[in-house]
Amino acid sequence: MQVITSKDNEIIKNIRKLKEKKYRDSAGEYIVEGVKLIEEAIEEDVKIKKIVVCEECLEGKEIDQKLLYKIAKYECIYVTAKVFGLLTDVVNPQGMLAVIEKRSSEDEINYTEDVIVVLDGIQDPGNLGTILRTVDSVGLSQIVLSKTSVDAYNPKVVRSTMGAIFRVKIIEAENLVETLKNMKKHKFKVVATSLSGSESIYKMDYNKKVIVIGNESKGVSKEILDVSDSKIKIPMLGKTESLNASIATGVILYEYVRRKVS
């Protein structure tokens, strides 16, 4: 087994570049890290380009033997702990990461679903990751992101999706206003979340709806509000006026679930 010991190795340099969005975009690849995420990637049959394993973690038996058998069919690269430390973004890494190829045709929207979630300027990686996980949990398979939103393949986003990123198609809209107008042509109604909304999420019809969640501090942008068919809100009984973006998304989508199962 050959072990890479130098940070100047070309493979290592190329993987390190994937920490930056511009290189993820140009390469069409991103990094997932941790045993659980790699097991999910294998289970979901995503395109794994290579798997990097820390040699010392093998010696310490930190990686289960069954997983080692599973990864044997992929291109595996073994590195020292020092080199692995240059690749990881985790404080206490498990000693394994993988380079994953992004799915193709990410610009095609599936109009057969009841609800399409659109994110307008979401900035927090944890929020985006949690929203992706929530979308997956309610049985939806896609999400539309504005160009002003945080990169969905940011390592922090990927980790917080807990594997949902392998199942939810991520569509990045070059021009969100035009994308929404086109969605309306497919007979979807665009509803934007807003503190000034006049319609409660509990009275809204969840059939053929585009639900727009806005930026954490500014909310949905004016240009998006202008093309929306209506504004919705979550009724509040206490003094708090608004909820975290990911929590708000969960409340709205689980009202959709309640309608589906009741």
Task: Tell me the pLDDT tens digit for each residue of 195-254.
Answer: 888 899 999 999 999 999 999 999 999 999 999 999 999 998 998 888 899 999 999 999
Per-residue tokens: 68: 């080692």
Task: Indicate whether 109 belongs to any domain.
Answer: no
Q: What is the mean pLDDT of the chain?
A: 93
Q: What is the mean pLDDT of residues 145-162?
A: 95
Same domain for 256 and 216: yes
Percent of the chain with pLDDT over 70: 98
Q: What is the mean pLDDT of residues 79-94?
A: 92
Please check the confidence at residue 58 and state whether its pLDDT lies above 80: no
* pTM of the predicted protein model: 0.92
Last residue of a domain, one of 101, 135, 152: 101
Same domain for 254 and 136: yes
Same domain for 180 and 50: no
Same domain for 179 and 74: no
Last residue of a domain, one of 101, 134, 155: 101
Task: Indicate whether 50 belongs to any domain.
Answer: yes
Please check the confidence at residue 77 and state whether its pLDDT lies above 90: yes
The reported pLDDT for the residue numbered 60 is 65
Last residue of a domain, one of 38, 67, 101: 101
Task: Indicate whether 158 belongs to any domain.
Answer: yes
Please check the confidence at residue 61 and state whether its pLDDT lies above 80: no
Sign (positive or negative) of CA dihedral 129, 130, 136, 142 = negative
Backbone φ and ψ for 253, nearest 5 degrees, come out as: -70, -30
Rounded Cα distance between 179 and 163, Å, is 27
The reported pLDDT for the residue numbered 103 is 84
Strand arrangement of the beta sheet that strand 115-120 belongs to: 169-173, 142-146, 115-120, 209-214, 189-193, 230-233, 199-200
Quote the strand ranges of 2-64, DSSP E.
3-4, 29-33, 48-54
Same domain for 122 and 94: no
